[in-house]
Chains A and B, each alone.
Chain A
Amino acid sequence: METRSIMIVGVGGQGSLLASRLLGNVILAKGYDVKVSEVHGMSQRGGSVVTYVKYGDKVNSPVIEKGEADVIISFEQLEAARWVPFLKKGGKIITSVQKLDPMPVITGAAAYPEDLIGKMREKGIDVTAVNALELAEEAGNAKASNVVLMGVVAQKTDFGEEVWQAALEQCVPPKFLELNKKAFELGKKAAE
């Protein structure tokens, strides 16, 4: 199988590390070669963060470059828009509708662009937009938006329910497991 490339993007602190760990374990369980690449450190402090997930028969480079991503999963609208140049022609975006003002918008040096999802669709991009934050709060904790989005991804892909459940059990600490399973289900339903 040719290598598939998925990007998980968001704002530092939104939980992209857990999301990528889940996806990585699901892919590993399906027997693919996989690389998950993330950057730790300074950018995690409220900055724009990105994780690359690549899988197939044999993965070489751990990074995804402009024009290479099959899917971009985003925790925040502006971040989805920022990484659009990395999407392949015909690629898909799954994004939460959450908006977080970056510092230049907070200080008034820049404006948060209007109707980003509309603008992405204008370019022919297949965009799935969900309110992951609201669903995570419904599940019991705003921090579970990452797992809500993974529920959406599970619904849109065919890795199979079993491997997702196993990955959740492996990656989420037991005391948060129930909450995260609920968040996952809500994500799946939202994408039906």
Chain B
Amino acid sequence: MKKLLLGNAAFARGLYEGGCRFVSSYPGTPSTEITEEAAKYNEIYAEWAPNEKVAMEAALGASIAGARAFCGMKHVGLNVAADPLYTAAYTGVNGGLVIAVADDPGMHSSQNEQDSRHHAIASKVPMLEPSDSQECRDYVMEAFDISEKFDTPVIVRMSTRIAHSQSVVDCGDRQEKELLEYTKAPQKYVMMPAYARGRHVFVEERTLKLTEFAETSPLNKVEINEGTKKGIITSGAAFQYAKEALGDSVSYLKLGMVNPMPVKLIRDFAAKFDEVIVIEELDDVIEAHCKKQGVNVKGKEIFGYIGELSQTIIAEKLLGKKNEMISLDADIPVRPPVMCAGCPHRGVFYALSKNKITVSGDIGCYTLGAVAPLNSMDTTICMGASISALHGFNKVRGAEAEKRSVAVIGDSTFMHSGMTGLVNIAYNATNSTVIILDNSITGMTGHQQNPTTGMNLKGDPAAAVNLEELCKAIGIKRVRVVDPYNIKETESAILEELEADAPSVIISRRPCALLKYVKHNAPLKTDADKCRGCKMCLKLGCPAISMKDGKAVIDHTQCVGCGICEELCKFDAITK
């Protein structure tokens, strides 16, 4: 049965067909749809965990219990889950354990451009890398087999262009996998020093066996084109770019298994050619392996370490070819992403921007508060860092800073890793002000449920964390809730809590305007006679408001009638 599937959906298909029973993940672009698609299969139990560490530990637990299990995350999520990963490498598995990590070369939706292959090498866990949707399905099934055969977790590395490209997939039926027997085995699963020493020996032996496997596994494909003098070693998306740019004019060694890499296979391939070039995105992982084995290759000196590759970059660097293109005689203004019309975050950022507050930011839609015209963010580092970094900032700068700075963090990010930072504020005492932007959903990744929303991944009712009670239990005495559509209330709450000589939490609560259950008001209108063109409303950075002939106008197709601009207009020029 042939289907056009997103790489991530094909990955989920591989989980289904491979008999996976348990999925626990945290959303992160470009990995999210693997878990969303897996949840659509009734045979698979699937959940959103509060963070990637919890997800991986849950999946490892399911594996130890005898099930084929999976957890998925984006590249930076694997940093959060690195702790269980490096020890899961020692314990190995019972039921097969597959981990997806999705890298984001080009940083389409990420805060850094890390290359997750380093985690596979450092943790000594095998890693496969598919190059289209068909391989996503096939490699996941193969990964389960490798996992059980070699007693190891297996990472499948995705990247944006593989995860978010649809291509044709030949699908099959599910292989039902019964729970394997669970036998107590402390030498394998209790990783205290005495037992872990034994497992490290096992890990090193396993790596030798996996290297042997890599020499002959069909995952690593050699394609010799007759009469060619140049050999290309590549993997993943880079293979597709190379094929398109160079076609049959070169020969290929495509590595489907990028850790551990074969030695003899690479040497034998390289020996056939005058010149061997490694084409890989981000770091020089394959290149460094080749050079370590004494194979003379070129790579990063041609392509560099930054951003995505493409067929045109390869054609230009290796063939000196450049495409002709048409250019218009016009300056085209950029169109950066913005907070949506009616976004509940806007009111908070307007108040912060107006009062020139230092803002310790976090990861989510609200990171867009950093851009013009709100320009209301000083730092954004990683999940949860808003709260912990604010504490450090305030500790060294003292009361002056405490009265002029806040942390902003979303509901899902707070559950992910903001809570522990708040514990630190309460425990180690700074009078910091934390604003939880509770829009009742995980927004940026496309509306996933989280522990505060009262629903689970399958759409069933679930226990909801009460944020007010949680913050109080942590030791924060000043906890209050505001409606960000009410700018005056929001602003005065922020100013009061900044002044208070105690740590405080403001929960700015209003569901995301894009949620299906949110009822929108009728779009607002401007009265051209009353509008003085003062541009006060433009300070909100609402995409529905623009100026035409010196007067503000509201685009009725975008406006959801949130009323913030109406509140701000001093001349009553904006009405229902």
Contacts and interface: CB of A to CB of B under 8 A. Distances in A.
B188 interface: no
A24 B555 CA distance: 31
B372 A103 contact: yes
Interface string B311-355: 110000000000111111111111111111000000000000000
Q: Of residues B160, B164, B328, B338, which shows the largest number of chain A Cβ atoms within 10 Å of its Cβ?
A: B328
Given A37-B161, A41-B109, A105-B333, A84 B312 contact: no
A109 interface: yes
B310 A45 contact: no
B335 A67 contact: no
Interface in A47-89: 47-48, 59-63, 65-68, 78-79, 81-82, 84-87, 89
Nearest to A45: B337
A181 interface: no
Interface stretch (A111-119, A146-154, A156-164, A182-190): A111-119
A142 interface: yes
B108 interface: yes
A61 B457 CA distance: 33
Interface string B1-30: 010100000000000000000000000011
Given A41-B29, A116-B330, A123-B328, A79 B335 contact: yes
Contacts of A86: 325
B365 interface: yes
Interface string B524-568: 000000000001001001010111000000010100000000000
Nearest to B514: A13
Contact of B108 (A28, A43, A133): A43
B190 interface: no
Interface residues of B, number: 61
Interface string A108-139: 11111100100110110100000001000000
A35 interface: yes
B557 A101 contact: no
B166 A40 contact: no
B338 A45 contact: yes
A131 B394 CA distance: 54
B337 A105 contact: no
B326 A24 contact: no
B554 to A, nearest CB: 12
A37 B323 CA distance: 21
B296 interface: no
Contacts of A191: none
Nearest to A59: B167
Interface string A5-26: 0000001110000000100110
A119 B446 contact: no
A25 B168 CA distance: 10
A137 B132 CA distance: 38
Interface residues of A, number: 63
Contacts of B371: 103
Contacts of A35: 132, 165-167
Contact of A46 (B108, B311, B337): B337
Contacts of A79: 335
Nearest to B241: A61
A177 interface: no
Contacts of B30: 39-41
A46 B325 contact: no
Contact of A42 (B29, B324, B329, B543): B29
Given A37-B165, A39-B108, A63-B310, A28 B4 contact: yes
Contacts of A133: 557
Residue among A60, A105, A112, A113 facing the most chain B CB atoms (10 A cut-off): A60
B243 interface: yes
B4 A34 contact: yes
Contact of B555 (A43, A100, A125): A100
B324 A109 contact: no
A130 to B, nearest CB: 17
A65 B240 contact: no
A106 B546 contact: yes
Residue with the greatest number of chain B CB neighbours at <10 A, chosen from A35, A43, A62: A62
A38 interface: yes
Contact of B325 (A13, A85, A104): A85
B547 to A, nearest CB: 7
B454 to A, nearest CB: 25
B244 interface: yes
A98 to B, nearest CB: 9
Nearest to A124: B326
B474 interface: no
Given A40-B29, A82-B332, A85-B326, A61 B4 contact: no
B444 interface: yes
A37 to B, nearest CB: 4
A175 to B, nearest CB: 13
B337 A67 contact: no
A62 B161 CA distance: 7
Please give me the 4 A-B residue pairs with the lowest Cβ-Cβ distance, nearest first: A41-B109, A67-B323, A47-B337, A41-B29
Interface of A: 11-13, 21, 24-25, 28, 33-48, 59-63, 65-68, 78-79, 81-82, 84-87, 89, 100-113, 116, 119-120, 122-123, 125, 133, 142
5 contacts: A41-B446, A60-B240, A62-B237, A103-B373, A105-B333
Given A106-B545, A111-B331, 4 more contacts: A35-B166, A45-B340, A104-B333, A112-B333
Interface of B: 2, 4, 29-30, 32-33, 108-109, 132, 160-161, 164-168, 237, 240-241, 243-245, 310-312, 323-340, 365, 367-368, 371-373, 444-446, 535, 538, 541, 543, 545-547, 555, 557
